[in-house]
Structure 1
Amino acid sequence: MTERYIVIRKGPRTLELHEGNRVLGHYPVAIGKPSTPTPEGIFAVAVKRVHPGGVFGSRWLGLSAPGYGIHGTNNPASIGQTVSMGCIRMHNRDVERVFDLVQVGTRVIIYR
């Protein structure tokens, strides 16, 4: 089976869901503000939660970097901005799609 993985590009503020060499989805995201930047490196999805509540929107994909995750938002106007506490924010409809297509252990690559 071909590996699925997530690539987050901080410069253009995008998240891509890959399956091998194929891009399954391309989504706009918000990232951490300068004082609380989104970490860079190779991580994994460590936990999945439906309806985590509050500012996290409809889904939470917690990363192997403690305290960081990919999640929905209750503030869709923030997508595309550098405004979070380091997490990756997505439109709820987008994070729901990604959530359904990844598993705990899915690799997440974050870079500039």
Structure 2
Amino acid sequence: MPKYRIIVDLSDRQLYLLDGHTVVRGFPVGIGRMVTRTPSGEFTVVNKQAHPGGPYGAFWMGLSKPHYGIHGTNDPASIGREVSHGCIRMFNEDVLLLQSLVPIGTRVTIRP
């Protein structure tokens, strides 16, 4: 059974899924805008919810930093841009794939 972890690289606006030290998938993401930057640091996935409503697209994965998460979007044109209030946005099909692979407790590293 793989032990996945997630690295979000804010500088290239990519989320990487790693199995050990090996990148197995990369996904484009939207990140926080200048006034509501995505926080960097070490976090974990603390909850998961399908169809959370509003702008969160098909799925929400909450992080250990309250009010921040990895989620889908109802605005696919925002992926790759600095547009969110600090969350990490993914295409809905990407967040659905990611959530199916990573359990609650998965480590998430966000680097500048």
Tell me whether the two structures share a fold, i.e. TM-score over 0.5.
yes
Hey, what does 2:92 align to over in structure 1? 92
Question: How many pairs does the alignment contain?
Answer: 112
Hey, what does 1:29 align to over in structure 2? 29
Q: CA deviation at 1:2?
A: 4.7
Misfit runs of 4+, over 6 Å: none
Q: Distance in 1 between matches of 2:30 and 2:83?
A: 7
Hey, what does 2:60 align to over in structure 1? 60
- Listed one character per residue, the Cα deviations across residues 30-51 of structure 1 (whole Å, up to 9, x for unaligned) are 0000100000000000000011
SS at match of 1:65: coil
Q: How does 1:33-44 map to 2 (within 5 A)?
A: 33-44=33-44
Q: Distance in 2 between matches of 1:55 and 1:2?
A: 31
Q: CA deviation at 1:22?
A: 2.0
Query: Where do 5+ consecutive residues of structure 1 fail to align?
Result: none
After TM superposition, the score normalised by the length of structure 2 is: 0.97
Q: Distance in 2 between matches of 1:52 and 1:10?
A: 24
Q: How does 1:13-24 map to 2 (within 5 A)?
A: 13-24=13-24
SS at match of 1:55: helix
Hey, what does 1:109 align to over in structure 2? 109
SS at match of 2:77: helix
Matched residue type, 2:69: G
Q: How does 1:70-85 map to 2 (within 5 A)?
A: 70-85=70-85
Q: CA deviation at 1:25?
A: 1.0
Q: Percent identity?
A: 51
Q: Distance in 2 between matches of 1:98 and 1:89?
A: 12
Q: Distance in 1 between matches of 2:102 and 2:28?
A: 18
Query: Where do 5+ consecutive residues of structure 2 fail to align?
Result: none
